[in-house]
Amino acid sequence: MTSSPEKLGAKDELCMEIDPPLGENLATAEDWRKALQKVVPAVVVLRTTACRAFDTESAGASYATGFVVDKRRGIILTNRHVVKPGPVVAEAMFVNREEVPVHPIYRDPVHDFGFFRYDPAAVQFLSYEEIPLAPDAACVGLEIRVVGNDSGEKVSILAGTLARLDRDAPHYKKDGYNDFNTFYMQAASGTKGGSSGSPVIDWQGRAVALNAGSKSSSASAFFLPLERVVRALSFLQKGRDSFQDKWEAVTILRGTLQATFLHKGFDETRRLGLQSETEQLVRHASPLSETGMLVVDSVVPGGPAHKLLEPGDVLVRMNKEVTTQFLKMESLLDDSVGQNVELELERGGKPFTVQLPVQDLHSITPNYFLEVSGAVIHPLSYQQARNFRFQCGLVYVSEPGYMLYRAGVPKHAIIKKFAGEEISHLEDFIRVLSTLSRGARVPLEYISYTDRHRRKSVLVTMDRHEWYAAPEIYTRDDNSGLWIGKPALQAVSKQSVNGVISMETSSKTERDQDESECGIKKRRVTEDGPKVDNHEDPRSQEDAILRDPHGSVAEREIEPTLVMFEVFVPSSCMLDGVHSQHFFGTGVIVHHSENMGLVAVDKNTVTISASDIMLSFAAFPVEIPGEVVFLHPVHNYALVAYDPSALGAAGASAVRAAQLLPEPALRRGDSIYLVGLSRSLQATSRKSVVTNPFAALNISSADSPRYRATNMEVIELDTDFGSSFSGVLTDEQGRVKAIWGSFSTQLKYGGNSSEDHQFVRGIPIYTITQILEKIISGAKGQPLLINGIKRPMPLVRILEVELYPTLLSKARSFGLSDHWIQVLVKQDPVRRQVLRVKDACQALDLCDDMEANLELTVFRQGLEIDVLVGTDVRDGNGTTRVINWCGCFLQDPHPAVRALGFLPDEGHGVYVTRWSHGSPVHRYGLYALQWIVEVNGKPTPDLEAFVNVTKEIENGEFVRIKTVHLNGKPRVLTLKQDLHYWPTWELRFDPDTAMWQRKIIKSL
């Protein structure tokens, strides 16, 4: 926060203060040396980890500074944005590198200060003294030093001179934390990130202010005055002394009118209409240095001052006393919580008096939140209510998580209606949530501060799989400094909710208003709610199919077989290096019977099996869920099943499977129809010519390894519909010769930058029909539950090698004999190529009944060699298990990682695929793209061994981890296990129930 740019009004730009001449500065260099010798040991580096997004802060790890203000009781002062309003785990490191855990005991609801506590006995080797607070010593011209952890340096000392004591509070962010109703001090000492919470000291070693923020453009720093800090500290000290042996929560009364005041000069109050008699009265009653008065700047709706005070009102007296300073006003409000205060003001020169009740500031600062499907939802705080001009206590989305992200609800949204019920408090939301079953689809209405006058309506789908833990309520416990979680939903009998379907249709009309807001492609989100009964007249169904009489025969034939996919990947399951959470694409129905429908689609639409898939049919207006049944380990296609009974009788008869024509293969110059769906589910087609029926793919590995198509020959056309249009290639009768599928690639630029791109090519249908026949007729692999029927799934035998074609003319240069060249030309006169090994990794389709070895004749360094090569058998399930430990996602290394050609010798079964913000691995730097090969000296060759080793480690223990990076570089790091906020859990796909199931491995 410290380096946030600070907004300047025109008046700040033109600030030309003329201050009285400075007295001689008597401090010598020796005085400063002595003062700093005393101060530096009491300054600590704070490493804080915000475990969840909450209120104004997002989840993450950061460095800051604090200093000891009470050595005997163990109290450290720092900024509020360091202590954080939400769950935080923190350690303080002293100058001699002793590290002690610290716990938050107070964060001010408005001003930028807070306190941590630590155990003084834990600091064993350092002699240090507390830094005394001297708010009265601050004056213009005072020479100061800022001692702190600047830009991540352990200790830095910056010099400066106090230039102003009456600067407006800095404005950091329009949707984050801001201080107000106080003056700040300003000095030209360019502090940067990490120095938040540093003491601003004078030559006697006293803290005169608290460093809070800075503006990098003008190298000026902003300091918080210490008067309110001293008051809060004395409350904490008294409270600590009244409890014998442990900390307990201390109440520090803070009052508010929910109004923001600014200090404006007399010249400006005159322009606002202040009477000259009033100005005279105020100037007489105030010290000579007073230059202005307090003016109302904003009022929070629904607060005590709402509709009574207005911006521009000039405050004259509070409780009969002339009040021109924030400190006096704050003191009066803090001492009057629960009582009324009398304000005398002038509006446009007309005096008026109001009686306002003083509200408890802590009552409008949330101390609990709901965590559901990765989302953090809590009552709207006073801070954000003031930023957004909404009423305090509304239901506020601090982090949308997965379920709300999928529906298109943005961060900072205010939920107004859920499943048809008005929502005004978080308890209302939880009550409705407890009545919904898995997979239910209900409408939700929200407003956002960027478009405050219009409600937006979206469709929320309850998670069908156990992607996330059950909803929990976390409540702040000021005794321990922890947030304690407990289940949010009482055991409620889970039935489907009536009226879901009727609500769904009513909410579709306004659904697309929020497209731009989420920066996400158009959303049509639904899931496995109750089955839809379609009572329409069957004739209207026929019309739906024949809606465009002008299309080609191929288009009319193929349209009822096309399906639009919308795929979401939960953040808790972003496996195999998947590069996005949201995919779109077109698939074609390749099988449609009474009890199973199968759709073929490319793997840039359905990337991994851990996803929520929604299918929209071109033939019939319905949207139903799909489940991945087969992901080909090498080729770029997946097969997705749907339940035909979910279409209803009319839908099941309108939808049909495409006629597949694997033979004869396409040749160059063949005429072909490219047919696909537009986003509005309209069939679109064009006639094209095949330019290359067996183009070789050469897709290089991405920065973060993910699926890439290898060992495939694809079809290229002379014209298509651009790189995002997928569909099928058919002959004139509408028989499918190939899928027109999307391929993912990464373009690398100079330096380290790269960008994800996609392109489309034809995938011959014969690669799909081989697998399809085995699924329908029965295969030899593990059975999978599809629509209630267990079916054995096919296995694929592959050669772990990446091959690429080389022209025979090039092969001749390498020394291949004339005899072999003639044999190869005769074998394939069109391609005239030989396959060359690029990487030993993967790929070849073989029949199930062949031997496990292949006899190959290879040409190596001028010699012909006969070799026997082993093959590998793979299923089509993809990765089916993920473990989350300390916030990092662990899995078996997927094929794209193995294809890089390096696996650590120590063991390669525990691969870090992702990590979570605000977790221990974020705090200690255990990032993705590496293997964990040892934990506390014990080898972890696979996930089972890893689970067994980490099960023995208790909460708060330090763990020593040995990792090997993808580039082969080994590293040892330590991290502290936190089971309170980050329990160890696993997600597994169970083929018997076809569901992803979650299991807690270790928690508190």
Per residue, the 3-state secondary structure of 452-491, as one string, reads EEEEEEEEEECCCCCCCCCCEEEEEECCCCEEEEEECCCC
Query: How many degrees, rounded to 5, is the angle at CA 519 between CA 518 and CA 522?
Result: 85
State phi, psi for 876 to the nearest 5 degrees: -105, 25
Q: Which CB contacts under 8 angstroms, 24+ apart, belong to 488-493? A: 488/370, 488/372, 488/430, 488/433, 488/434, 489/430, 489/433, 489/434, 490/434, 492/434, 492/435
Evaluate whether 305 touches 359 at the Cβ level (below 8 Å). Answer: no
Given the residues 3, 62, 189, 195, select the one marked as catalytic: 195
Report the 10 Å Cβ neighbour count for 910.
28
Instruction: Calculate Rg over the CA atoms of the chain.
Output: 34
The dihedral over CA atoms of 625, 627, 631, 635, expressed in degrees to the nearest 10, equals -30
Report the 10 Å Cβ neighbour count for 974.
11
939 Cβ contact partners less than 8 Å away, ≥ 6 residues apart: 906, 907, 933, 945
**Position of tokens 């009491």?**
42
Task: Read off the DSSP letter of residue 57.
Answer: B
Q: Residue 933's closest CA among 907, 903, 900, 911?
A: 907
Q: Is the dihedral of CA 132, 134, 138, 142 positive or negative?
A: negative
Evaluate whether 282 touches 322 at the Cβ level (below 8 Å). Answer: yes
Given the residues 55, 70, 108, 112, select the one marked as catalytic: 112
557 Cβ contact partners less than 8 Å away, ≥ 6 residues apart: 659, 730, 733, 734, 735
* Nearest-angstrom CA–CA distance, 524 and 512: 9
* Nearest-angstrom CA–CA distance, 334 and 342: 14
Given the residues 55, 62, 81, 465, select the one marked as catalytic: 81
Query: How many degrees, rounded to 5, is the angle at CA 29 between CA 27 and CA 35?
Result: 75
Query: How many degrees, rounded to 5, is the angle at CA 681 between CA 679 and CA 686?
Result: 85
* Nearest-angstrom CA–CA distance, 546 and 542: 6
* Nearest-angstrom CA–CA distance, 621 and 630: 26
Evaluate whether 836 touches 808 at the Cβ level (below 8 Å). Answer: no
CA dist 390 → 85, 150, 305, 364, 380 (Å):
19, 36, 14, 13, 8
State phi, psi for 88 to the nearest 5 degrees: -140, 140
Is 195 among the catalytic positions?
yes
β-pairing, 368-372 vs 375-379, is antiparallel
* Nearest-angstrom CA–CA distance, 598 and 641: 5
* Nearest-angstrom CA–CA distance, 855 and 81: 67
Evaluate whether 570 touches 468 at the Cβ level (below 8 Å). Answer: yes
Is 980 among the catalytic positions?
no
26 Cβ contact partners less than 8 Å away, ≥ 6 residues apart: none
Task: Read off the DSSP letter of residue 857.
Answer: E
Q: Residue 147's closest CA among 76, 205, 103?
A: 205
Q: Is the dihedral of CA 383, 217, 229, 324 positive or negative?
A: negative
Task: Read off the DSSP letter of residue 954.
Answer: P
Q: Per 3-state DSSP, what percentage of the chain is helix, strand, and coil (rounded to 5)? A: 20, 35, 45
User: For helices 326-334 and 227-242, what crossing angle results, to 10°?
Assistant: 30
Positions marked active-site:
81, 112, 195
